[in-house]
Amino acid sequence: EFEFVSGFSAIRLIHGTNKASVEILLYGATVVSWNVNDQKILFLSDKASFENGKGIRGGIPVVFPQFGPGKLPQHGFARTKKWTLGDTNVDKQTGDVTAKFHLHDDEDTLKIWPFTFELTLSITLKANKFEQKLTVINKDDKQFDFTALLHTYFTVSDINKTKISGLRNIDYIDKVDNATLKHETNEYIEFVSETDRVYKNGATNNNLVTIIDNSNQQQFEIQIKTQTFNDFVIWNPWIEKAKNSNDIGEHNYSKFVCVEAGQVSKPVELNSKQTWNASQEISLISHS
């Protein structure tokens, strides 16, 4: 089923099984929560700012058409625009709930990025899974290039005890070491300091990245499967940067890890009138 929250500024998808729910703001089509059996899978900072002009610190902001700094605002404009709600659907057999969100060019986007386009973010909530499919349509009569990413913040009990698997033998750009190109030799990525890496074409090698939260006897695993999103960004700002950030704070640095499926190491070149699709499917494997 569906519920509108705070005067239509957000929509909640509710599944009949596992008390599963997802809440999505029209602002950025940002998913701000995904809960299964009262467990909060996504991190949302208690200092997150919901004011215009900023991405939400937590949940899943959509990065488009530019990852990171550049000509456009950091991480592009999709995460700070108001999207519209399109079709919604409940599958009568499975109870799976889908909602679609749209964004197209307007006066403001054309000023900074001179192309006509349409984005659709389709979100499906299943009993213990959650899917996001991003579609980009080039409505212009010329080609445009873009990068795109789903900036997913996962809750962890303690970053110091969190491990990520599935990225072994993949080259990555180490953004905290002068963008040096390195090769991942470890089975598990562990966190001991600020981490900001772009794993290139990680998904084509393996297609499955797992987050293992090992704290306090609690163990749960989250698996991320992607299609067309060929890169994974792994990010945690660590203590100092969290402390100096207005919307994170020192108390939050250990409570999340960002594992971001995207296409960022090589921009997509999309011809006039062409469509590009990419998706992630996140599954909750076990929890206690």
Taking alpha carbons only, the member of 208, 153, 162, 209 closest to residue 34 is 153
Is residue 57 part of an annotated ligand binding site?
yes
Applying CB under 6 A, among 11, 34, 42, 75 the residue interacting with ligand BG6 is 75
Which residue's CB is nearer to ligand BG6, number 1 or number 46?
46
Instruction: In whole angstroms, give the CA distance from residue 257 to residue 189.
Output: 12
Q: Which residues lie closer than 8 Å to 49 by C-beta, 6 or more apart?
A: 56, 57, 246, 247
> From the CB of 4, what's the least distance to ligand BG6, in Å?
27
Which residue's CB is nearer to ligand BG6, number 168 or number 175?
175
Residues 22 to 51 in contact with ligand BG6, rule: CB under 6 A:
none
> Within 10 Å of residue 278's Cβ, how many Cβ atoms?
22
Which residue's CB is nearer to ligand BG6, number 172 or number 220?
172
Instruction: In whole angstroms, give the CA distance from residue 235 to residue 205.
Output: 20
260 binds ligand BG6 (CB under 6 A): yes
Residue carrying the six token digits 């192309």: 115
Which residue's CB is nearer to ligand BG6, number 58 or number 166?
58
Annotate 156-194 with b (16+ C-beta within 10 A) or e (fewer): bbebebbbbbbbeebebbebeeeeeeeeeeeeebebeeb
CA distances from 216 to 48, 155, 156, 157, 219 (A): 27, 14, 11, 8, 8
- Which x/- pattern over 211-230 shows residues binding ligand BG6 (rule: CB under 6 A)? --------------------
Taking alpha carbons only, the member of 206, 180, 196, 171 closest to residue 260 is 196
Q: How many residues bind ligand BG6 (CB under 6 A)?
A: 9
| Candidate list 260, 269, 281, 287, residue with the active-site label | 260
Which residue's CB is nearer to ligand BG6, number 5 or number 112?
112
> From the CB of 116, what's the least distance to ligand BG6, in Å?
26
Applying CB under 6 A, among 28, 55, 76, 166 the residue interacting with ligand BG6 is 55
Which residue's CB is nearer to ligand BG6, number 74 or number 272?
74
Q: Which two tokens stand for residue 33?
A: 């929560």
Whether 155 and 40 have beta carbons less than 8 Å apart is answered as: yes
| Candidate list 15, 23, 151, 281, residue with the active-site label | 151
> From the CB of 125, what's the least distance to ligand BG6, in Å?
24
Catalytic residue check, 151: yes
259: left (phi over 0), alpha (psi -120 to 50) or beta: beta
Catalytic residue check, 260: yes
User: Measured at the alpha carbon of residue 14, what is the angle toward residues 278 and 9, in degrees to the nearest 5?
Assistant: 75
233 binds ligand BG6 (CB under 6 A): yes
Whether 58 and 32 have beta carbons less than 8 Å apart is answered as: yes
> From the CB of 170, what's the least distance to ligand BG6, in Å?
16
> From the CB of 48, what's the least distance to ligand BG6, in Å?
11
- Which x/- pattern over 187-206 shows residues binding ligand BG6 (rule: CB under 6 A)? ---------x----------
Residues 150 to 189 in contact with ligand BG6, rule: CB under 6 A:
151, 175
Whether 43 and 35 have beta carbons less than 8 Å apart is answered as: no
Which residues carry out catalysis?
Answer: 151, 260
Binding site for ligand BG6 (CB under 6 A): 55, 74-75, 151, 175, 196, 233, 235, 260
